[in-house]
Structure 1
Amino acid sequence: MHIPQHTAIKEFINYLTFEKRYSRHTITSYTLDLEQFFTFVQSQYGEIDLPKISSSIIRTWMAELKNDTLQSRSINRKLSSLKSFFKYQIKQGTIIQSPLTTIVSPKTSKRLPAFVEEKNMDTLFSYVEFGNDWKGKTDKLILQLLYHTGMRLSELIGLKEQHIDFDYKQVKVLGKGNKERIIPVSQELLTNIRHYMAEKPVRLPQVTVLLVNAKGKPLYPKYVYTTVKHYLGAVTTIDKKSPHVLRHTFATHLMNHGADINAVKELLGHASLAATQVYTHNTIEKLKDVYKKAHPKA
């Protein structure tokens, strides 16, 4: 069965968009990876049917990526996109076997997630000044929500007022693939949220999200990113200062205080435990540090 490559890509992307409900960012990544691969195939081998794409073609493409000095982590992401694509083609009956079955992913060096030290987070909320205007109040709540809940940037921007449960002291978060999860929160944070909601300068009937600008409109991702970078820059010298670093900080601080890894997995909304296990490395590093400082023979 001959299916044009561009049609096969389009059908797969539609599947990810409407059935798997992947985020726009993920869809863009898959699309770019697949288009890049098939552009390479076209330039090197001409128009060939999907069943004729072999593992040797994949390896040649990987070699080309390495020649372009692409990092192993980036190559692995592209391979992951291809794996998903060919797995879908097997499901559709277009091919019998994936050409990636014998492909070995390049080894990557394990990077520990960057996080902010507890004392620095204390400094941020105890001593750093936030403006007394609406911008200052919004900025402070952005940082508090990210650190107290570990939610993703997209989840923060989409957090609705009705998803704050003041009675049960929890928030409902809509995560990847529209999966809902419940995150318990402190009374202190709930009090801040209540004051923020009561003081909103403008209430637009069509806007139901919690965080808004002075005109009552939802925040842009870039605004949140810039805000986090600015305030973290006042308390830490780590290279990365992003909303995702506060997610790492949330998870690392929980693990350092003995939280069960499965509980942390649920709080973060991870699909598998493997994604959460990276935070145990930070815990081990902390234990090593304690050992070196405390053990007489260390």
Structure 2
Amino acid sequence: MYIKEFERYLQYERRYSKHTLIAYLHEISLFLVFLENEHLPFEEVGHRDMRHYFAMMTEANKSATTVNRSISALRTYYKFLQREDIVKDNPIQVKALKMPKKLPVVVEKDKLMLLLDHLEENVHDFESRRNKLVMELLFGTGIRLAELLQIQDRDIDYYNKNILIFGKRSKERLVPINGTLIKELQLYLHAKSLYIENNKSSFLIVTKEGKPAYEKLIYRIVHKCLSMVSSQQKRSPHILRHTFATALLDNGADLNAIKELLGHAGLAATQVYTHNSAERLKSIYKQAHPKA
């Protein structure tokens, strides 16, 4: 059912992340199995069939997240099929399910600062210097994991103190870096030039063999480092992005400015951090006010 063509469309035209690509293709495959079981020709799928499919998912106790991902995947799939003149109408006229609001998980700022100091004190080779830079970059800029992996040496502008970031769907943005982070970058690049002979990789973060870093490596680095100061279950690179945004908001940064720094398409995605700050203020109030 034009799956290969759809995959290329998502990968090269829409520039979806690897995780989104895998998730969407999985949802499409499940839907095609449903059509086969229902003996329903692909070209004859209508609105009622779609409602029946999503109702079945709900009855099977699928989470709102899973159902909404399926809706999004199939809506994108049918838009692609319409564009290719394979189908006339998009049969998906279903609204996404309401999602329970989850507050972003963050690391306490004091603990994170102690961690960064500890990492600096224990830099003794290229890998420890690289790991320190990974933590500094993720916390100091709020960039996504995929964006970190795409940074090349030439993307760093030391004079204007910023990094060119390639975000979702090939959107570019400039993220400022402070003097501390510039120093970290210079120390790392010096260590990389000494440790890795004939380094031909243009990517900033590399393995000890000089190859471009990969997702699992960054996950391991962040998880290991955060384990030193936190017992919370979530210790992923995205936690540092949440911590970055919350820290800016706590210190009075404008919400629109945070939106631009994070590369969010809309303000709604950024507003979730206001809940974290509100909860933090309540906690401080309860501890400090005599009549709390």
| TM-score of the two chains, using structure 1 as the length reference | 0.89
RMSD: 2.0
- Does the CA-based 8 Å contact 2:109-2:247 persist in structure 1? yes
What CA deviation, in whole Å up to 9, does each residue of 1:115-152 have, x standing for no partner?
A: 11111111111235534121111111111111001111
1:241 is aligned, of 235, 238, 247, to 235
Shift of 1:36: 1.1
Q: Report the residue type matching 1:120 in the other structure.
A: K
Sort the Cα spacing of 1:90 and 1:46 in 2 relative to 1 into closer, same or farther, 3 A.
closer
Equivalent residue, structure 1, for 2:110: 119
Q: Report the residue type matching 1:153 in the other structure.
A: L
Rounded Cα–Cα distance in structure 1 between residues aligned with 2:97 and 2:262: 28
Equivalent residue, structure 2, for 1:135: 127
Equivalent residue, structure 1, for 2:272: 278
What CA deviation, in whole Å up to 9, does each residue of 1:89-115 have, x standing for no partner?
A: 4445555543322x2333221111111
| TM-score of the two chains, using structure 2 as the length reference | 0.91
Structure 2: stretches of 5+ with no match in the other structure: none
Rounded Cα–Cα distance in structure 2 between residues aligned with 1:196 and 1:135: 9
Sort the Cα spacing of 1:205 and 1:93 in 2 relative to 1 into closer, same or farther, 3 A.
same
1:43 is aligned, of 37, 43, 47, to 37
1:145 is aligned, of 134, 137, 152, to 137
Rounded Cα–Cα distance in structure 2 between residues aligned with 1:293 and 1:98: 55
- Does the CA-based 8 Å contact 2:126-2:188 persist in structure 1? no
What CA deviation, in whole Å up to 9, does each residue of 1:36-93 have, x standing for no partner?
A: 11211221133241xx322332232223323443211121111111122233444455
Shift of 1:205: 4.8
Structure 1: stretches of 5+ with no match in the other structure: 1-5
Secondary structure of the 2:38 match is: helix
Shift of 1:16: 2.3
Equivalent residue, structure 2, for 1:268: 262
Sort the Cα spacing of 1:274 and 1:253 in 2 relative to 1 into closer, same or farther, 3 A.
same
- Does the CA-based 8 Å contact 1:147-1:249 persist in structure 2? yes
1:173 is aligned, of 165, 171, 175, to 165
Identity %, equivalent residues: 38
How many residues are treated as equivalent by the alignment?
Answer: 289
Rounded Cα–Cα distance in structure 2 between residues aligned with 1:20 and 1:48: 24
Equivalent residue, structure 2, for 1:98: 90
What CA deviation, in whole Å up to 9, does each residue of 1:264-289 have, x standing for no partner?
A: 11111112222212111111212222
